[in-house]
């Protein structure tokens, strides 16, 4: 489990591609401290297992499913990445509950400066947007952020200078892909309420929530 508070910006030192998978070699002087082989490290929001650690360099295997579901396949030697170690039970919970199991990707639609902050507009598919609520939490490339606006096509976050300096988000351009993980609470609520999923991710989701269901469970 992670919190979405990025500990450092790391660098991809090498990528060994398989037919559908990859092995990443990453430099990170902070996340390698006190870490051991088998520990989880979030790389741009994706939970990966450290398979070797030598000084400030670690390696991680990326399976085919992760390559399909995330933007890790776009990384190149020299790419900068957000890094975070799994949270300690005795640490401050500064962000929100982040599993490192991303729900999909979004595309940066626009970046607009407003005084000391920058508005970032991200387009995403309906199966991701349905979990996003205004003033709720979202993890973008592993960064815990507050949603400031959402509609049926895009959502927006506002980036303060500290976040801009400590993460890679504002180094990206219009059209770039980012990893998205929704707040896990909404997904559990949906499951418990019997939400009907359609197989087509671009279709409009349907809900079993109606007046009869609310009355049955004491909400009316």
Strands of the chain, DSSP E: 8-17, 22-27, 40-43, 46-54, 57-62, 80-85, 104-114, 117-123, 137-140, 143-150, 154-159, 177-182
Chain segment 159-180, per-residue pLDDT in tens? 999 999 999 999 999 999 999 9
Does residue 138 register a pLDDT over 60?
A: yes
Q: Count other C-beta atoms under 10 Å from residue 28's C-beta.
A: 24
pLDDT attached to residue 204: 56
Indicate whether 137 and 65 sit together in one domain: no
Structural domain contains residue 195 = no
- Where residue 211 falls among pLDDT bands split at 50, 70, 90? confident
- Nearest CA to 2 out of 129, 104, 135, 143 is that of 143
Show which of 27, 50, 85 is a domain's final residue. Answer: 85
Give the total number of structural domains in the chain: 2
Does residue 197 register a pLDDT over 70?
A: no
Exposure letters 88-119 (e unless 16+ CB within 10 A, then b): eeeeeeebbbbebebbebbbbbeeeeeeebbe
> What is the mean pLDDT of the segment spanning 125-131?
95
Q: Which domain holds residue 110?
A: 104-189
Show which of 85, 116, 140 is a domain's final residue. Answer: 85
Indicate whether 184 and 108 sit together in one domain: yes
Indicate whether 75 and 122 sit together in one domain: no
- Where residue 191 falls among pLDDT bands split at 50, 70, 90? confident
- CATH of residue 179's domain is 2.40.30.20
- DSSP H or E run through 165: helix 161-166
Chain segment 4-39, per-residue pLDDT in tens? 999 999 999 999 999 999 999 999 999 999 999 999
SS percent in the chain: helix, strand, coil, step 5: 15, 40, 45
Query: How much is the mean pLDDT over the chain?
Result: 91
- Where residue 120 falls among pLDDT bands split at 50, 70, 90? very high
Structural domain contains residue 161 = yes
Indicate whether 109 and 80 sit together in one domain: no
Say which residue, 185 or 193, is predicted with more confidence.
185
> What is the mean pLDDT of the segment spanning 213-219?
71
Indicate whether 78 and 109 sit together in one domain: no
pTM for the model: 0.85
pLDDT attached to residue 219: 67
């Amino acid at each position: 489990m992670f919190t979405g508070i990025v500990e450092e910006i790391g660098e991809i030192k090498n990528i060994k591609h398989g037919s559908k998978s990859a092995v990443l070699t990453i430099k990170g002087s902070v996340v390698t401290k006190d870490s051991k082989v088998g520990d989880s490290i979030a790389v741009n929001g994706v939970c990966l297992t450290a398979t070797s650690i030598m000084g400030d360099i670690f390696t991680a295997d990326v399976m085919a499913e992760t390559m399909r579901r995330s933007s890790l396949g776009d990384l190149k030697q020299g790419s900068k990445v957000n890094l975070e170690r799994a949270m300690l039970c005795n640490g401050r919970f500064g962000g929100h509950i982040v599993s490192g199991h991303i729900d999909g990707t979004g595309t940066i639609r626009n970046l607009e400066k407003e005084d000391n902050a920058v508005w970032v507009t991200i387009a995403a598919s309906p199966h991701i947007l349905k979990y996003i609520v205004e003033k709720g939490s979202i993890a973008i490339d592993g960064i815990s952020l507050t949603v400031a606006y959402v509609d049926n096509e895009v959502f927006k976050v506002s980036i303060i200078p500290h976040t801009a300096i400590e993460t890679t988000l504002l180094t990206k351009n219009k059209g770039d892909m980012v990893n998205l993980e929704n707040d896990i609470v909404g997904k559990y609520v949906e499951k418990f309420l019997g939400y009907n999923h359609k197989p087509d991710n671009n279709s409009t989701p349907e809900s079993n929530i109606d007046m009869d269901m609310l009355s049955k469970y004491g909400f009316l």
